[in-house]
Structure 1
């Protein structure tokens, strides 16, 4: 009875502990709309090159997410990504590198591929700015792989911009035009105006040496977009660059107009919050240089002095931190938010306490039921133990018998495989004594067909699945053999086959069909100077399976396979398909293409066994 009471008490404590532990865990929560709006605002500020303001939005938001234990969410990763991008744009390279590397790794582990691709692009831009071409190229490759594999089409324009910029900065001008035009085309399709502006800017850089007038047109298109989007910082940079191009063309009037535009938009950028604007003093210095070339030395002296004054102010602002004012404002908002959170926590705590009391009552009720059934089960267990002993002895005998049966089956498969291998060897020896090419080809084809059957028994002998064979493993083995046998090591196989096991009756017809298709591709599906590429896919449907086969050869002369016109190989393909209650369709689609529908043979019988 003492053991019974101890068991009851332990059950109560255990169940209560589990309930309280589950209540202590925070439930899955939806990201508040206010937080989402803050992130959206920060992204807009990054687009407008107002990186300081974006950082002051993102840093508190990140802290808020950490306090609310939302660091496991994709939203937290997105906030961290944009903070790293803002740091990189604001030339805080060490912080940006640390954040973006962490986001790249975490997003890869969590399968957040858009964030992963954007982090790679941010790192590529950062390494490019630090003159590290290899690291930048590696991150571009990682971004491209994520975009292609996961269909991130909307991220492709950003990849094209970064690729064009990389080729421009590291001495590959021929590729700049291609990627810049790709960026313009795809960014327009996805309505990404800032990336369209970037594409025109890069096209302008590309055309500057040979076609300065064309370069000016591209820069003007970029400036027009930036003006409509109110990105005054980048607009001032574009106007200054256009002024420099007109100065090279000795058009002082237009050069001065664009310098004035650069000064005006630089002041607009400063008014919008971008105090650390480097374009203003450069524009004043360039204006002084224009007046100097025109011989107006008084104006040149005035604007040059103003430029140097602005440069000194800019250097002072580089070291000035506006965080005190923003931090004070944020702390007031944070106190209000903390009060709301504490209020919510108190309500949640009361709900948890009530839930715990209810759980204790439920636990006591079920414990009394468990005690009753425990007394009844203890009596039944004595009878069950004796029965279990008898069953265990019987199972051991059956297990031993099963092991012997499996061993015997493996030996049979091994012997069949060896016998078929002997036949293959005899055919190979016979082939050496035959001079007629058609006869030799016939023997070679017969040898590969026998191997297709022998490979099934070889896989069955080596595998651990009884009478079932992994179709992917078998296909790899057959493809490798045919590559070596027909000296086609330069060919490539793309296998998209899920984990699927077939019985012997199904796999042998499939192997014969695959052997005929691959052999046919090696013989007739190769184009001069182009290695063979063979794509094999398997898809499961409710009423059967579809085997898709395609090569990159010239295809069928008549467009598709008909009757027995393809010879014995075509006859075997259709015959094997009929054995599996299937059918074969063929057509030309960038090469010979087959679609074979089939059903697993004797599947019900095997399951019954």
Structure 2
């Protein structure tokens, strides 16, 4: 079983490996379970489930581990803290691992290269590049000494990252790492190196060579099992196409990347739910076992009490009082357990709310970055593109502000469209230099977020087009959104004469409108400055 799991980890089949561990954990004794759980920490990290990996590592630290198991847990915990930018805790785990290696030198041949990689990464991430580079060279020497083929390509990678000021050496290390990963048939690492080398050429403004590596990554992506890695491949391809001026291709690959990221987020959400359920079952089983042991002890005491009670009535009465007190203690313990479960549920609710909060914060950061980049650009055409991008992301952000996730997914599951459309109009009024009036006739319509968001993006594109191309000094925008039978009908117009979309059939705005209408399973017609969209209300 463990060999099968290790094979899947080497092939980056992390989800399958996790399922095998979870489905077969009851078949093993405690020692084997601990060994599998050490491996599970690594798998959870690879799947991006850092909170779950940290909780499992905490349970492992408090259990009976072998020195090698302890070392592996310390190394993986360093990575968790490094990802979460906890420099102090990360250093503590490095120090624990180093002390353990000094105490158990027999662990070095299989683990020392990996330890040095993590130590080098710690110093590099925290700004000590010279120390990091020195440790990386030490790792390479040791890997060659003990013929550690598994970690040697990782060493070449970090040496490449450490040679940012010497492009020639950096590329040599990257190419060497790619060669070694290919020898190991490590497809995820191969794809990652194609991306790293492609990004290297992007920084050198050699977009054609970067495109070659991007195509290599795409060709190899069919062997990939990690969705967010696939998303990274197509995202970089999109950015390269944009640099080459092929905007249609850039949009095409961007959509593919977005689909992979969306699928990855859904997969990660499902895995989180499963891990929460497993943790809940573990806690429940532990509580029931402890309660059963207490009940057994209580029963044994009661039997002894009954025997003694035959001999001494006074002792019998005293034991009854004692047993009553025990029952009250047990009731209190049950009450405490229920309270703990309630707190656990509240913590889960907080995590869900925190997720939504972070989404909003991330969108706000993206908007700030766009504003900052816009301020760096002098060309009006590119400023206009940044402004359009700002409005699109702002439209998405408004939807997130009106929609809150809930662990039961009952509260605020629908978005009130009247308020949503008003906020979109208001953002354009506040950001546009033109005088804008808007008139709306919107029925009481509530939509799920997967319907409301495309509708908001369509409205944003229509308003943006009106602001850009309507010739009147005072711009008047009209929106009607009405329920007709089982359909929703959107009518939009301005006091201009025509929509300029007709002048450019391949405009991004028109592509977005057509894509969103298709996502809504609707249809649209356009006559001069009047735009009409109909889609089902399901």
What TM-score, normalized to structure 1?
Answer: 0.42
What TM-score, normalized to structure 2?
Answer: 0.48
